[in-house]
């Protein structure tokens, strides 16, 4: 019954789940952390120390962008990427996380009440 | 109101169940029933009783019964200890039962205190990697 993706205190919403999955990949996480640390970087600069090919870096950046974690800025033939830390808000939004948690627990409570003896 | 009151967050979830308060009260206060909808526990319906709620993910919540009015109201603390206070939690959960024509309205109010929440958000470096590693483990176990 409680096989959902649970973290410290609650169930994850779809948005949170997506963020977690996006950041669960070590290469993507490293790229994101580097952007957090160093500010805006080009794909080339990121590739130089990523340990994977440029197409792979671009693909990871695409996933990060879809999750809202990075933003891009084309400039000439280069694309610059920067971290969008605000996208992490669902992870630290305690209120939203707890509300989702209790709604799910109430679902299980309702199931239980139906099964209980009089 | 103190300066810290601004950091307090409250979550309220309400639902009406088509059952009498007595049945809900049992589900809220009998350990084997609590386990079925909430978490494994060693709860006892006694003010001052300290107990744990143990989650599937391996985390444990530290709780203490603060108030009991059989069939009407149950209050306990809901704390999560963490080495990094930014990821810890101190809160109080209050369940209130009110009979309605068709059953019982259950209201859950959780008031939490997160003094370091801003730090957790803004300080993208300290503790952050550890947090994400934990998330990765959670995700890996989820399927």
More confident of the two residues A86 and B101: B101
- In angstroms, rounded to a whole number, what is the distance separating the alpha carbons of residues B86 and B117? 6
CB pairs under 8 A between A and B: 106
What confidence score (pLDDT) does residue A115 get? 93
ipTM of the modeled complex: 0.73
- In angstroms, rounded to a whole number, what is the distance separating the alpha carbons of residues B42 and B31? 6
- CATH number 3.30.530.20 given to B3-116: yes
- In angstroms, rounded to a whole number, what is the distance separating the alpha carbons of residues B100 and B17? 9
Whether B139 shows a pLDDT value over 80: the answer reads no
What confidence score (pLDDT) does residue B21 get? 94
What confidence score (pLDDT) does residue A25 get? 84
What confidence score (pLDDT) does residue A13 get? 56
**Residues near A48 by Cβ (< 8 Å), separated by ≥ 6?**
none
Interchain contact, A37 vs B125, CB within 8 Å? yes
Strongest mean pLDDT among A111-115, B6-10, B120-124: A111-115
- In angstroms, rounded to a whole number, what is the distance separating the alpha carbons of residues B21 and B25? 6
What confidence score (pLDDT) does residue A59 get? 96
Interchain contact, B33 vs A116, CB within 8 Å? yes
Residues in chain A: 118
In a structure prediction context, what are the per-residue pLDDT tens digits for chain A, which is 118 residues long? 333 333 434 444 566 677 878 887 889 988 998 888 888 999 999 999 888 999 999 999 999 999 999 999 999 989 999 988 778 766 666 666 677 778 889 999 999 999 997 5
What confidence score (pLDDT) does residue B110 get? 86
- In angstroms, rounded to a whole number, what is the distance separating the alpha carbons of residues A85 and A44? 22
Residues of A in Cβ contact (< 8 Å) with B19: 113
Average pLDDT over residues B84-103: 83
Interchain contact, B10 vs A94, CB within 8 Å? no
- In angstroms, rounded to a whole number, what is the distance separating the alpha carbons of residues B42 and B10? 26
**pLDDT tens digits for range B65-89:** 999 999 999 999 988 876 666 556 7
Distance from CA of A84 to the nearest CA of B (A): 11
- In angstroms, rounded to a whole number, what is the distance separating the alpha carbons of residues A15 and B100? 35
Nearest to A29 among B10, B11, B132 (CB): B132
CB A32 within 8 Å of CB A70: yes
Residues of A in Cβ contact (< 8 Å) with B59: 8-9
- In angstroms, rounded to a whole number, what is the distance separating the alpha carbons of residues B19 and B102? 8
Overall fold of domain A14-115: Arc Repressor Mutant, subunit A (1.10.10)
Contacts 24+ apart (CB under 8 A), B97-101: B97/B21, B97/B24, B97/B25, B97/B71, B97/B72, B97/B73, B98/B21, B99/B20, B99/B21, B100/B16
In chain A, domain spans:
14-115
Residue A108 token pair: 């299980």
Distances, alpha carbon A15 to alpha carbons A101, B61, B99, in Å: 14, 25, 36
Whether B118 shows a pLDDT value over 60: the answer reads no
CA angle, B137 as apex, B136 and B138 as ends, to 5°? 90
């Amino acid at each position: 019954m409680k096989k959902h993706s649970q973290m410290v205190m609650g169930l994850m919403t779809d948005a949170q789940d997506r963020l977690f999955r996006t950041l669960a990949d070590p290469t993507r996480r490293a790229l994101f952390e580097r952007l957090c640390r160093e500010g805006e970087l080009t794909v080339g600069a990121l590739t130089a120390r990523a340990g994977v090919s440029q197409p792979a870096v671009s693909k990871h950046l695409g996933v990060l962008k879809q999750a809202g974690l990075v933003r891009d800025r084309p400039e000439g033939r280069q694309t610059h990427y920067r971290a969008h830390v605000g996208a992490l808000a669902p992870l630290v939004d305690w209120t939203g996380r707890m509300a989702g948690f209790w709604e799910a627990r109430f679902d299980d409570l309702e199931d239980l009440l139906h099964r209980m003896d009089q | 109101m103190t300066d810290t009151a601004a950091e307090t967050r409250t979550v309220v979830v309400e639902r009406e169940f088509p059952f009498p308060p007595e049945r809900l009260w049992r589900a809220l206060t009998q350990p084997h029933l609590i386990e079925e909808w909430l978490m494994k526990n060693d709860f006892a319906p006694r003010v001052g009783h300290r107990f744990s709620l143990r989650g599937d993910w391996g985390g444990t919540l530290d709780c203490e019964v603060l108030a009991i009015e059989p069939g009407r109201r149950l209050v306990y603390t809901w704390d999560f200890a963490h080495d990094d206070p930014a990821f810890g939690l101190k809160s109080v959960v209050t369940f209130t039962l009110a009979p309605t024509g068709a059953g019982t309205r259950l209201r859950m109010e959780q008031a939490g205190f997160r003094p370091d929440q801003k730090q957790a958000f803004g300080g993208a470096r300290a503790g952050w990697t550890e947090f994400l590693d934990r998330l990765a483990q959670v995700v890996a176990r989820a399927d």
